[in-house]
Amino acid sequence: MEAGRSPNIEILSNTDFLELSGKPGNFTAKLRRRPRYIDADKCTACGMCTQYCPRHLVDSYNEGLAVTRPIHIDYPQAVPASYFIDPEQCLHLKHGTCKICVPVCRAKAIDFSQQPEDISLKVGAVIMSPGFGRVPDEALSKYGYGKHPDVLTSLEFERLLCASGPFEGELLRLSDCKHPKKIAFIQCVGSRDLTCGNGYCSSVCCMYAIKEAMVAKEHEPELEITIYYMDMRTQGKGFDAARTRAEAKGIKFVRARVADVMPWNEQLKLTYSTLEGGHLFEPFDMVVLSVGLDAPADARKLAEIGGFELNNYDFCQTGGFTPLLTSRPGVVVAGAFQGPKDIPESVTQSSGAAGIAAALIKQDRGKGVVIKSYPAEQPPAEDEEIRIGVFVCHCGVNIASVVDVPEVDRYVEGMEGVVYHAQSLYSCSQDAQEVIKQKIKEHNLNRVVIAACSPRTHEPLFQETLKDAGLNRCLIEMVNIRDQCSWVHANEPEAATQKAEDLVRMGVAKSRHSKPLPEQTVPVTPRALVLGGGIAGMTAALNLADQGFETVLVEREKELGGHLRNLHATLSGEPFAKMLKQTAEQVKKHKLIKLLTESELVQVNGFVGNFNSVIKTTKGKKESESTIEHGVIVIATGGREYRPEKVLEQPVKYSAAILTQTDLEQRLAGSGKNRAPASVVMIQCAGSRGDDLAYCSKVCCNQAVKNALQIKAINPESQVVVLYRDLRTYGYAEDAYREAREKGVLFVPYGMTAKPAISAADKAPKVTYYDPLLREEVTLAPDLLVLSTGMVPEGTEELSRLLKVPVNEDKFFLEAHVKLRPVELPVSGVYLCGLAHSPKPVDEIIVQAQAAAAKAAIPLVKGKVTVEPTVSSVDPSLCIGCGICESLCPYQAIRITKDKDNKRKAETITASCKGCGICASHCPVFAISMGGFTDEQISAQIKAFGEATNKE
């Protein structure tokens, strides 16, 4: 929700995209903004209008499970935080009557005179991120959707579970408002289903089904939940572990296809067939359909307006090696519109697309941005008098309906240091900011306490107001009398008022000790270091250089290309060799890229903006070292195919007859006469998802299908059997899986209780497995036994020690936030992409590398790192140099150095400090102080809590 605050992001909501002309660097877009009928600047989102609006409207935000009014806001945190009127349902707009809302609105924000507004924009580049659409109801009706109220879509179920949902988070059946005891999830509804035209796998449903099942279990631990699936496609990083947790919680997974769902007494009867051919049925109280992601309903219109191509499923068409480029130059795509995908993948694409757009119009960088200026801060005088102003907020009825706001305001009178106090109807509204600024001037305030809502959402706004008034932004103190008083004690108004008074007293006590803190900035060396010259490293280096930054690319081998050099082509047949050659040429030719091959990083010093690294180059017997100053690091050190000596607990010896999928890929790409022999057996998860590698390697299923198709293309008579656990051909790869089955490739699942047995006389391998269709053991003696062994990262442990960045239990680097910061590491200035992050196919690697480059470019663009003022600082006279702080800091932001007397002293690296306070709370001698949360402030706050309240 940060997007709402940036001065450089203009949100045009309620706006349709109509036309796009021009070329890259110089597009003209025509838009039309539909009226909200509410002045967004005046609306304070108090909610009074919705209370009075007489007309009901089905609430689409709650998936039609609740009702709202034509004048409404979807959810309280919406940005813009302004209500709007649905013109199709409003009595006034439709029939010229009503207008009740107009006098009700105290902010006078309602404006029925608003007209549609045409907008013309000149832009350098366009990013298409319209998301996904809905699977048509017809595809759901075969499971009883629309006929029985207890058959729900997954999104409807999500709303039921949500505290802001129709039953406030209580899980109830829509038919009788009773708690369900047994719930079934049906997977692959509207995906992997040609009858509704969606042949692809939506890649998200397995994950959200597990999530929803887990959340439902949290609501009601007694619930029995069964998930009916074809393949559990939890191939992402850490996803299998979540599935295992779900099983441990008692959620049942049944591999079966559901034929139909019929009413049965008070329940629903689910008929399903299993692999063994059994037809079974089971009653449930509620059935949830795991509905896939469809192309946006207006995809064709958007493609026509935007002038780019769609694929056969109406998602945006892109190339295997240019996954974010549409067919129209200058128009970039990101998110689910590029193909169904989850949040981390979408957010990664966002950054990648931003980087591409940035490189495209780099000559115009900085020309359009708005830089806000503030009046100079008044430096505090020595022994200046503390003058606190307190503003107590009503938040419309949000606080005032429970807490006695006038009483709290009266209570403040006479507190030490308080020279002004007032109530405010909405302290966050635009006019309230003007009032606060005016009162600061009028009463010469030098501290401000706002008793309102959460600093999480509103502190930046008030900090801004203080800056506008010439005060340091750290002189604001927020007291949360909404969440912590009126919300949680809604039924005890007196106690809530009392608590509000206590909190305000404590806030004022803390505020008396507030100090202005300097805004700190650290200069950045505008150069990037990219580690690894595979496709990830080359892509990242090219994007950084295209954005105009010097980049040093370090590769251990003599040649660029990395692991991809061992592979032949993508699933759709695009050859790697040509692309790698072209990319390597571009890297070598680029003026801003300095390439160091046969080189390794041996030492790193410094921190974000100011790294200093030593690179060792070994050419034959000649060794040399070079030192590089740089501002950021991109890790792209890659991985390789795993070659275990034991597969499924049985020893294997690789030979001409027993080989890995990559060996097979090379063999098939060659010209050997018998390269695709008469019989081939492939074993999936022969390394991954076991005791050996705990994770799914994500690429092996695609590679197996790709090789199987290749064998069939060379020798259609060849018998190919693929033994698998879950076939994870997610996304469009599902088409290839279907094609392989149609061409006669046999896919046979195995379970962990009946693993295939390999008798490994290396020249003539034999495989014995249980065939669930035949219901007996089968032994084959194939010409080739192919093992899908999985992927492992390379050299991550050494690098982790050098850079002091964490790796996970599988030795992949651990990103800062799995969902929202997928290419950043916890240490500032270090970014991550490619196989060093997790196994993934080449198109995802390219996107991730583009994203890492875009993120790494941000500090380089700014030329400085701005640090939040709330960082730790060490008093060297107290520090005993014990080093506890250094060992505990998760961000490598505090270190032990020697002072001039050669004594060990801790020192905060301000640029890396995130202000978490771990160091300060563990310092045995109280030598570390947190800006904004000093011991003095916190003690004063606690002391004020203990003070008996004497209201007389």
Residues 2-21 that bind other proteins (CB under 8 A): 2-4, 6, 8-17
Q: Which of residues 198-257 bind other proteins (CB under 8 A)?
A: 207-208, 210-211, 214-215, 238-239, 241-242
Residue placing its CB nearer to other proteins in the complex, 445 or 865: 865
Q: Which of residues 632-661 bind other proteins (CB under 8 A)?
A: none
Q: Which of residues 408-467 bind other proteins (CB under 8 A)?
A: none
Least distance between other proteins and beta carbon 252 (Å): 18
Least distance between other proteins and beta carbon 352 (Å): 9
- Residue 549 is which amino acid? F
- How many other CB atoms are there within 10 angstroms of residue 14's CB atom? 14
Instruction: Find the helix packing angle between 576-589 and 535-546, rounded to 10°.
Output: 40
Tokens of 862: 């700014």
Among 422, 577, 858, 884, binds other proteins (CB under 8 A): 858
Q: Which of residues 680-739 bind other proteins (CB under 8 A)?
A: none
Residue placing its CB nearer to other proteins in the complex, 355 or 687: 355
- Using CB under 8 A as the criterion, what x/- string covers residues 257-296 for binding other proteins? ----------------------------------------
Are 229 and 254 within 8 A, CB to CB?
A: yes
Give 479's strand partners. 451
Query: φ and ψ at 869, to 5 degrees?
Result: -70, -20
Least distance between other proteins and beta carbon 161 (Å): 5
Least distance between other proteins and beta carbon 691 (Å): 21
Q: Which of residues 362-391 bind other proteins (CB under 8 A)?
A: 364-370
Residue placing its CB nearer to other proteins in the complex, 207 or 686: 207
Report how far residue 696's alpha carbon sits from residue 726's, in angstroms, rounded to the nearest whole number: 10
Report how far residue 408's alpha carbon sits from residue 399's, in angstroms, rounded to the nearest whole number: 11
Report how far residue 644's alpha carbon sits from residue 660's, in angstroms, rounded to the nearest whole number: 10
Q: Where are the alpha helices (DSSP H) in 564-693?
A: 576-589, 661-669
Residue placing its CB nearer to other proteins in the complex, 303 or 664: 303
**DSSP codes joined into one string, 739-796:** HHHHTT-EEEE--TTSPPEEE--TTS-EEEEEETTTTEEEEE--SEEEE---EEESSH
Q: Which of residues 782-801 bind other proteins (CB under 8 A)?
A: none
Are 680 and 719 within 8 A, CB to CB?
A: yes
Least distance between other proteins and beta carbon 288 (Å): 14
Q: Tell whether residue 674 is a contact of other proteins (CB under 8 A).
A: no
Report how far residue 672's alpha carbon sits from residue 553's, in angstroms, rounded to the nearest whole number: 37
Residue placing its CB nearer to other proteins in the complex, 9 or 948: 9
Signed CA dihedral, 584, 589, 592, 595: sign only? positive
Least distance between other proteins and beta carbon 353 (Å): 5
Are 555 and 533 within 8 A, CB to CB?
A: yes
Q: Which of residues 527-566 bind other proteins (CB under 8 A)?
A: 547
Least distance between other proteins and beta carbon 698 (Å): 15
Report how far residue 674's alpha carbon sits from residue 754's, in angstroms, rounded to the nearest whole number: 32
Report how far residue 418's alpha carbon sits from residue 847's, in angstroms, rounded to the nearest whole number: 55
**Where does this chain touch other proteins (CB under 8 A) — which range of 68-76, 406-414, 633-641, 918-926?**
68-76
Q: Applying CB under 8 A, what is the total number of residues that bind other proteins?
A: 98
Tokens of 100: 């009740």
Least distance between other proteins and beta carbon 812 (Å): 15
Residue placing its CB nearer to other proteins in the complex, 73 or 720: 73
Among 58, 67, 121, 280, binds other proteins (CB under 8 A): 121
Among 54, 58, 75, 495, binds other proteins (CB under 8 A): 75
Among 349, 599, 637, 688, binds other proteins (CB under 8 A): 349
Tokens 């022999």, residue? 677
Report how far residue 174's alpha carbon sits from residue 178's, in angstroms, rounded to the nearest whole number: 8
Q: Which of residues 20-59 bind other proteins (CB under 8 A)?
A: 27, 29, 31, 36
Are 765 and 785 within 8 A, CB to CB?
A: yes
Report how far residue 497's alpha carbon sits from residue 793's, in angstroms, rounded to the nearest whole number: 57
Q: Which of residues 859-888 bind other proteins (CB under 8 A)?
A: 861-862
Among 153, 202, 235, 350, binds other proteins (CB under 8 A): 350
Q: Tell whether residue 297 is a contact of other proteins (CB under 8 A).
A: no
Report how far residue 626's alpha carbon sits from residue 551's, in angstroms, rounded to the nearest whole number: 15
Least distance between other proteins and beta carbon 276 (Å): 30
Report how far residue 952's alpha carbon sits from residue 950's, in angstroms, rounded to the nearest whole number: 6
Among 106, 108, 122, 279, binds other proteins (CB under 8 A): 122
Report how far residue 613's alpha carbon sits from residue 630's, in angstroms, rounded to the nearest whole number: 8
Cis amide prior to 80 (ω within 30 degrees): yes
Q: Which of residues 126-155 bind other proteins (CB under 8 A)?
A: 126-132, 155
Least distance between other proteins and beta carbon 279 (Å): 32
Q: What SS3 state is found at 89?
A: coil
Least distance between other proteins and beta carbon 685 (Å): 20
- Using CB under 8 A as the criterion, what x/- string covers residues 733-772 for binding other proteins? ----------------------------------------
Are 598 and 581 within 8 A, CB to CB?
A: no
Q: Which of residues 798-857 bind other proteins (CB under 8 A)?
A: 818-820, 854-855, 857
- Residue 171 is which amino acid? L
CA distances from 713 to 315, 677, 701, 729 (A): 28, 12, 18, 20
Q: Tell whether residue 102 is a contact of other proteins (CB under 8 A).
A: no
Residue placing its CB nearer to other proteins in the complex, 17 or 185: 17
Q: Which of residues 322-341 bind other proteins (CB under 8 A)?
A: 334-337
Are 203 and 165 within 8 A, CB to CB?
A: no
Long-range pairs, 751-756, Cβ under 8 A, ≥24: 751/725, 752/725, 755/648, 755/649, 756/648, 756/683, 756/723
Among 39, 52, 61, 715, binds other proteins (CB under 8 A): 61
Least distance between other proteins and beta carbon 369 (Å): 6
Q: Tell whether residue 1 is a contact of other proteins (CB under 8 A).
A: yes
Report how far residue 632's alpha carbon sits from residue 831's, in angstroms, rounded to the nearest whole number: 8
Q: Tell whether residue 351 is a contact of other proteins (CB under 8 A).
A: yes
Least distance between other proteins and beta carbon 20 (Å): 9
Residue placing its CB nearer to other proteins in the complex, 159 or 706: 159
Least distance between other proteins and beta carbon 455 (Å): 16
Least distance between other proteins and beta carbon 525 (Å): 18
Least distance between other proteins and beta carbon 121 (Å): 5
Residue placing its CB nearer to other proteins in the complex, 512 or 855: 855
Report how far residue 912's alpha carbon sits from residue 650's, in angstroms, rounded to the nearest whole number: 48
Are 353 and 145 within 8 A, CB to CB?
A: no
Query: φ and ψ at 807, to 5 degrees?
Result: -115, 155
The DSSP bridge pattern shows strands 279-284 and 267-274 to be antiparallel
Among 70, 166, 292, 306, binds other proteins (CB under 8 A): 306
Among 42, 47, 52, 74, binds other proteins (CB under 8 A): 74
Query: φ and ψ at 860, to 5 degrees?
Result: -70, -40
Are 810 and 696 within 8 A, CB to CB?
A: no
Residue placing its CB nearer to other proteins in the complex, 163 or 948: 163
Q: Which of residues 150-179 bind other proteins (CB under 8 A)?
A: 155, 158-159, 161-163, 165
Among 144, 180, 339, 355, binds other proteins (CB under 8 A): 355
Report how far residue 328's alpha carbon sits from residue 317's, in angstroms, rounded to the nearest whole number: 10
Tokens of 589: 């030719």
